Amino acid sequence: MGIENHLPQQVVLPYDRIFEDGRFVGYWKYVRGTLEGMNGVIKLEYSKHLVRRGWSAFEIRVDDEVVVIDYSDFLLVDTASAAFKHWLRFHHTPAFVPYPNLGSFPPWSFLDWADYTRAKALPSYTASGESIVYRHSDLNNRLPNLVQRRTRAMELLQKHCDDPMTIGKLQTGFIAQQMYFRDCLDSLVVVHIPGSHPHILDRTVQQMFALGVCVISPDLWTTCLEHRPQAGIHYVGIQDDYSDLSVKIQWVAEHRDEAVAIGRSAKQFFAKYCTPTAIWSYIHKRVSEPRALPSESSRDATTT
């Protein structure tokens, strides 16, 4: 049986003009990119009848079934989701299990999947470098606690790298993406502090997973197609206050083969749960299954 039998035949997107705030168009482009990354296997069309739902979600149609894509970083359940059989969250977590209509759409990784193909062709991560990469593009974001969290990590890293044995190893500041990828592949380890929520899986970690680079991060709650990356298997976890950050960097330096194995497991996780084929196979399976609206399920439960 060919892979086409496990994929939707057609997906219809809204036009990007439904977004009044240009900051949100990128999420729509990411979803579109996963379809374009299928190289024509799924027919892509557009409709003016598909709309936004609240501030952080928009409708699409998958083989004539309405599906809502919700790109919110936050963990509250949108009450509007109760009207839909399929409401897919970029930051789906195990906390959403009681809501069977809430599914997962893995968070933003690549807008153009040709970048992923090129990234896979780069030399593999070997943990043989000495640099510690901490290249956040912005430490002045106004999101709650973001600046404090990332600044706290920076201070701890600078203190760690004041040691005569580690001076000059900390790599910070923005650089172009392809240079950044090579920088990370040549490093000892990448340290990342998530953005708007302390435990989300965001684009930097997604891209490091895709490259197979070992990442040090606080606990990640986001699932990808309802599978959650695990600390110690897919990344090196640290405490919420980052107090053990220096210890974990030293652990990587002393266990480089294990760091490579963690990077390899992360790369396998990404390939299995975050690529266009994986995403649209999962969505096809969801929309093909009989599924009642949440309100109907509640009514049935109270009458039996």
Give the residue numbers spanning the domain of 176.
115-273
Looking at the structure, do residues 243 and 126 belong to the same domain, yes or no?
A: yes
The pLDDT assigned to 197 comes to 86
Looking at the structure, do residues 102 and 136 belong to the same domain, yes or no?
A: no
Q: For residues 8 and 287, is the Cβ–Cβ distance under 8 A?
A: yes
The pLDDT assigned to 298 comes to 44
Q: For residue 196, what is the domain's CATH number? A: 3.40.50.2000
Alpha-carbon gap, residue 262 to 255, rounded angstroms: 11
φ, ψ for residue 73 (rounded to 5)?
-85, -10
* 145 token code pair: 């606690």
What type of residue is 142?
R
Domain count, the chain: 2
- Angstrom CA distances, 269 to 13, 122, 262, 275, 292, stand at 27, 18, 10, 10, 31
Looking at the structure, do residues 243 and 289 belong to the same domain, yes or no?
A: no
Tens-level pLDDT at each residue, the chain (304 residues): 456 679 999 999 999 999 988 889 999 999 999 999 999 999 999 999 999 998 899 999 999 999 999 999 877 888 999 999 999 999 999 999 899 999 999 999 999 999 999 999 999 999 999 999 999 755 555 566 778 889 899 999 998 887 766 656 999 988 999 999 999 999 999 999 998 888 999 999 999 999 999 999 999 999 999 999 999 999 999 999 999 999 999 999 999 999 999 999 999 999 999 999 999 999 999 999 987 777 655 434 333 3
Burial of 247 (0-12, 13-18, 19+ CB in 10 A): exposed
Looking at the structure, do residues 133 and 216 belong to the same domain, yes or no?
A: yes
Looking at the structure, do residues 93 and 154 belong to the same domain, yes or no?
A: no
Looking at the structure, do residues 230 and 255 belong to the same domain, yes or no?
A: yes
pTM: 0.92
Looking at the structure, do residues 95 and 34 belong to the same domain, yes or no?
A: yes
Looking at the structure, do residues 95 and 67 belong to the same domain, yes or no?
A: yes
DSSP 20: S
